[in-house]
Amino acid sequence: MKLHKIELFNFRQFKGTQIIEFSSSPTQNVSVVYGENGRGKTGIFRALMFCLYGDRSLSQDELRGEEKRKGLILVNEVMLKKNKGKKIQASVTIEFSHNNQSFVIKRSISGLMKPNSSILQEYNQVELQLTDANGNTSPKESDPEIIKIQIQDVLNSRLRDYFLFDGERIERLTRNTQERREEVRKGIRTLLDLDSMDLAIQGLNKLISKIEKDIKYKSTGKLQKITEFIHELNSKIEELETNQDYDIQESKRLDRHINKTSDLISENKETAEQEKKRQELIKTKQEKEIERDQAKKELAEQLNNSCQLVASELIEQLHEALDFHREKGELPPVIRKEFIEKLLVAKQCICGTSLDHQHSSERENLLLFMKKHFKSGLGKESEEILYKLNRISGTTDLLSNAFNRLLMKSKKLNDEIDELNPKIKILDDELGEGGTNVDDLIQERNKCEEDLIKLKIEIDRRDDQIKDDKEKREKLRKEAAVLEKQQNHLRNLTAKRDLTKNTMLELKGIYKKFADEIKIKLADESTKNFSRLADNETLKDIKTISIDDNYMLDILNWAGQRRLGEISAGQRQIVSLSFIMSLIQVAGDLEVPLFMDTPFGRLSGKHRDHLIETIPEMASQWILLATDTEFTAVEANVLRETNSWGKIYELQKEEEGVTKIIERQVNEFIPKRKSIRLKEKIKV
């Protein structure tokens, strides 16, 4: 799919008819939409989602319930105010191509402002017209359901989230959180189209629970009690998981709301300086928390080997004792003890020599051999134990050093976080003293931050509870399986349950196989992308990007150690962008216009240059939504030199609530800011 043109009519800030023609040729595939914050860059993406899918809001709008159903006000509010009591029409028209076919889709909406200033919106018609590869144009289609199917065939709506990569989402991918895992998992599921398999697994799980319920009613004695416990745990786990999903979504909403409120506070002159300091401290704290959590995760993994460290002295003593016996030749030979005992009982060697009392010397030699080599406590496993002890002894120091390093690192980060907390508290108190016109916003944010902390504690607690309950359930199921065999009247039900469970396990195995294969491909492509986007200094420390069994996106250094928590915010952003690009690459024939909203926020100058030079080669079409602070004269010159820059549009404020889209010439366009990189050099 390639976008060619979008026409907005009275949509959001864009009053009247305004047009953007996207550059879509193979050589010039980059379009830039340039403007200050609040001028409508995201509004263009919003118009795209509205026109293609009928979306009335985006996930970042944080709408819920009835608000979400109604959606945002999409009709230009200036026009509504000027024409109170009259219907105002708004629409978005998009021209795009896919598989040598051309499409024109138009979706309309009308709005009316009542005398009391409340606004009603009515979603009108949608039209789609298709022209095939031979130039034959079909009649306009106006059935919403048919249009929905045709658009889904071009680009499934599940991929819409991979249309736009904004700064918040790029940052989110590098956090050590459940949300980050879900983001990576979602990308893999989307690529493999595993929704139907997910539904099948969920259905089989429900069927297993239903059969277990039937077994509970028909079982007797101890089995009945155990099945009752299993049924109770099923209900409890289901309720916990439902509440967990709700709280995870609520934590995302609170997090986004806190960020938006902070932006509003930052824009106020009276609080801007203090708020800037506060945000810098919070950002530093969050980065240290990410690094600390990663260190904790590595510590948890090291605990699997902790018994080796705890028993290191005993292991060393055992190693020395076995080594001493080996040097004396006292460890069991290849010949088995039982074999020699059999010869002595038979009183004859396999060579025919008699071993009776008349041949005492041969018999005595065998007895001495047994006494020397088959001492008590030195069985045939001794040699194998010694071999393993040799390996363990060689790694104990490494494990100990790694464990101590992680402990010291975790403590240091905790101390640094503890030092930041009172500094943030002082700024919170200063901001909350009153006397400014943003007092309500500050109080609102403080309340949201308190709620978020409580919510995260509850999510962690519930996560542990779910894990414990599942382990209890599995233990009870094993115990029940033994008792079920003793009750013949349950045979049909247990066979049905076991067949369902085995089918589910097979499906999970297939799911895992596909997911593992795609994870390897994504990790490989992400690593290749990273090697192209990162600077040479970064590449000295980082070898590969990995995706583990828990869908955690991470990086490994040349020693194979995880290092995501230790790299800078800008480097983490490059890791995220590398993964984002790999999703499109691994999808194969999937052509999507890549939208990036303010992607340069934390990137160094070299990383920005690599991104600008590389993305046009990696994506079929790049639409860059950039602010004046990140797309300076330096970035413009680097992009020009790629010869891939085809279009530039500037968003200018015409009046309050109205933005004008103005096309500029690529070769003549001069950004408002010359560069922000001088500050970087001074910092270095």
The tens digit of pLDDT for each residue in 80-97 reads 999 999 999 999 999 999
Q: Give 559-609 as a DSSP string.
A: TS-B-GGGS-HHHHHHHHHHHHHHHHHHTSS---EEEEESTTTT--HHHHH
Region of poorest pLDDT, from 282-291, 416-425, 587-596: 587-596
**519-547 average pLDDT score:** 86
∠ CA 388-394-397, rounded to 5°: 130
pLDDT at 678: 43
Identify which of 569-573, 591-595, 628-632 has the greatest average pLDDT: 628-632
The tens digit of pLDDT for each residue in 633-656 reads 989 999 999 999 999 999 999 988
**188-211 average pLDDT score:** 80
**525-545 average pLDDT score:** 85
354 vs 418, which has greater pLDDT? 418
Grouping H, G, I as helix, E, B as strand and the rest as coil, residue 654 is strand
Rounded to whole angstroms, how far apart are CA atoms 397 and 316?
12
Domains and CATH numbers, the chain: 2-22+39-156 (3.40.50.300), 333-373 (no CATH)
Residue 684's pLDDT band, with cuts at 50, 70 and 90, is very low
In this structure, are residues 621 and 561 in contact, taking their beta carbons and an 8 Å threshold? Answer: no
The tens digit of pLDDT for each residue in 433-456 reads 655 567 778 888 888 888 888 888
Which backbone phi and psi does 95 adopt, to 5 degrees?
-110, 125
Instruction: Please compute, for residue 36, the number of CA atoms within 13 A of its CA located in the half-sphere on the CB side.
Output: 7
**359-381 average pLDDT score:** 62
Identify which of 546-550, 585-589, 664-668 has the greatest average pLDDT: 664-668
Which backbone phi and psi does 127 adopt, to 5 degrees?
-130, 140
548 vs 316, which has greater pLDDT? 548
∠ CA 57-62-68, rounded to 5°: 50
Rounded to whole angstroms, how far apart are CA atoms 354 and 357?
9
Region of poorest pLDDT, from 41-55, 220-234, 296-310: 296-310
pLDDT over threshold 50, residue 507: yes
pLDDT over threshold 80, residue 550: no
Amino acid at 407: L
**521-530 average pLDDT score:** 89
**382-396 average pLDDT score:** 54
Dig out the tokens for 505 from the structure: 């396990």
pLDDT over threshold 50, residue 276: yes
Rounded to whole angstroms, how far apart are CA atoms 591 and 580?
14
In the 8-state DSSP scheme, what is residue 411?
Answer: H
Burial of 310 (0-12, 13-18, 19+ CB in 10 A): exposed
Residue 614's pLDDT band, with cuts at 50, 70 and 90, is confident
Rounded to whole angstroms, how far apart are CA atoms 608 and 561?
27
Rounded to whole angstroms, how far apart are CA atoms 105 and 141?
9
The tens digit of pLDDT for each residue in 308-327 reads 555 555 556 655 665 665 55
pLDDT at 223: 86
pLDDT over threshold 50, residue 50: yes
The tens digit of pLDDT for each residue in 464-486 reads 899 999 999 989 988 888 888 88
pLDDT over threshold 80, residue 194: no
Residue 662's pLDDT band, with cuts at 50, 70 and 90, is very high
Grouping H, G, I as helix, E, B as strand and the rest as coil, residue 218 is helix
Residue 626's pLDDT band, with cuts at 50, 70 and 90, is confident
Residue 680's pLDDT band, with cuts at 50, 70 and 90, is very low
Residue 666's pLDDT band, with cuts at 50, 70 and 90, is very high
pLDDT over threshold 50, residue 118: yes
In the predicted model, what is the mean pLDDT of the chain?
Answer: 80
pLDDT over threshold 80, residue 60: no
**382-389 average pLDDT score:** 52
pLDDT at 42: 83
pLDDT at 647: 94
**228-250 average pLDDT score:** 88
- Percentage of the residues of the chain whose pLDDT score is greater than 70: 77
Q: Cβ contacts of residue 259 below 8 Å, gap of 6+? A: 168
Identify which of 75-79, 540-544, 628-632 has the greatest average pLDDT: 75-79
Q: Cβ contacts of residue 159 below 8 Å, gap of 6+? A: 190, 590, 592
Within 374-438, where are the H helices? 382-431
In this structure, are residues 7 and 597 in contact, taking their beta carbons and an 8 Å threshold? Answer: no
Residue 104's pLDDT band, with cuts at 50, 70 and 90, is very high
pLDDT at 140: 92
pLDDT at 72: 86
**217-239 average pLDDT score:** 87
385 vs 278, which has greater pLDDT? 278
- Crossing angle (nearest 10°) for helices 221-267 and 195-218: 140
